[in-house]
Amino acid sequence: MVREILRLGNPALYEKSAPVTNDELERMRAVAVDLRDTLLDYRKRHQAGRAIAAPQIGVQKRMIYLQTDQTIVLINPVLSFPDGEQMEVLDDCMSFPGLLVRVMRFKRCTVRFRDLEWNEQKLYFEGDLAELLQHEYDHLDGMLATMRAVDNRSFFFV
């Protein structure tokens, strides 16, 4: 089901999400379907969007839906950064369409997570996918790109 994407200023976007427990897995499968439907609807309307975090649809759980060349559902992800090298990027978000924010992100990251079968997984990302994952992970901690702006001149309307 397509869900409303919470917008910048909604207090729920600033809350830290709770971990998913094994007994919530069936509910999380339904949330994953809603995340997929919502992302695909956003893509259709805006020709953008590669990932969405559960808090963006009002579900305060640590879950990310990523759809690029493959679909990955990340439950309780934990990020690490192998070398600390950073890059400056213009970040956008479905929660504030039309606004770009200049932020610093790590060039590479490793993520450990559970999948929808509750199996432990580990993936490595670099470049734009590393940036994307960090952006979505921030949503799980109630952090928006606007809060990571390089400075007060880092905001651009498109």
Binding residue per annotation — 135? yes
Residue 129 lies in a domain: yes
With a cut of 70, list the residues of the chain below it in pLDDT. none
CATH of the domain at 53: 3.90.45.10
Residue 51 lies in a domain: yes
CB atoms within 10 A of CB 110: 15
Binding residue per annotation — 109? no
86-125 residue pLDDT tens:
999 999 999 999 999 999 999 999 999 999 999 999 999 9
Q: Are 52 and 69 in contact (CB under 8 A)?
A: no
Q: Is 136 a catalytic residue?
A: yes
pTM of the model: 0.96
Q: Which amino acid is at 78?
A: V
Residue 1 lies in a domain: no
Residue 124 lies in a domain: yes
* Token couple for 108: 């590479």
Binding residue per annotation — 93? yes
What is the model's pLDDT at position 158? Answer: 87
What is the spatial distance between Cα 89 and Cα 45, in angstroms, rounded to a whole number? 24
Query: Would you state the torsion angle of the CA atoms of residues 40, 41, 45, 46, taken in this order, to the nearest 10 degrees?
Result: -50
Please pick, among 4, 117, 126, 136, the residue that the annotation labels catalytic. 136
Residue 33 lies in a domain: yes
Residue 4 lies in a domain: no
The percent of the chain in helix, strand and coil, each rounded to the nearest 5, is 30, 35, 35
Question: How many domains is the chain partitioned into structurally?
Answer: 1
What is the model's pLDDT at position 36? Answer: 98
